[in-house]
Amino acid sequence: MYLVGGLPLTIFLVLFYFRNKETLGKSFVSFIEWAKHSLETANQASPEKITAFVVINFVYVPGRLYFVLKIIDPLHLLYGSLIDAGLVLVLYGIIKPSQIIELKNGMKVENKTEVEIK
């Protein structure tokens, strides 16, 4: 059964690749250039953005797919989606942990960068 379905599909994919390899190559290079710029800050690689990218693509996406396939209750899926959205916002630095503490405790968290001289 695998041979009957897999062999024609493999042959089709190989022929498709050889007919369109120049277009596929140009598209792949443009994608890499786009991804490179989106993972940089001031023309230098941003460890924060690269870490977020790796965590999301290699941990979050497979874990989320497993969660969606395992849980069928829509309320739990909504809670999981909200928690995951919060994780993504924190990883990419859109929301800072100090803002979460401020929201939770209702207090203003300030970074003291200036030395007060009295």
pLDDT in tens, 37-93: 878 888 888 888 888 888 888 888 888 888 888 888 888 888 888 888 888 888 777
Q: Is the pLDDT of residue 117 over 70?
A: no
pTM, to two decimals: 0.48
Do residues 49 and 94 make contact, with C-beta atoms less than 8 angstroms apart? Answer: no
DSSP run (H or E) holding 45: strand 44-45
* pLDDT score recorded for residue 19: 95
Give me the phi and psi of 65, to 5 degrees please: -60, -40
Q: How far apart are CA 116 and CA 32, in angstroms?
A: 47
For residue 109, give both structure tokens: 């968290």
Closest to 52 in 3D by CA, of 82, 80, 88? 88
* Bigger pLDDT: 69 vs 16: 16
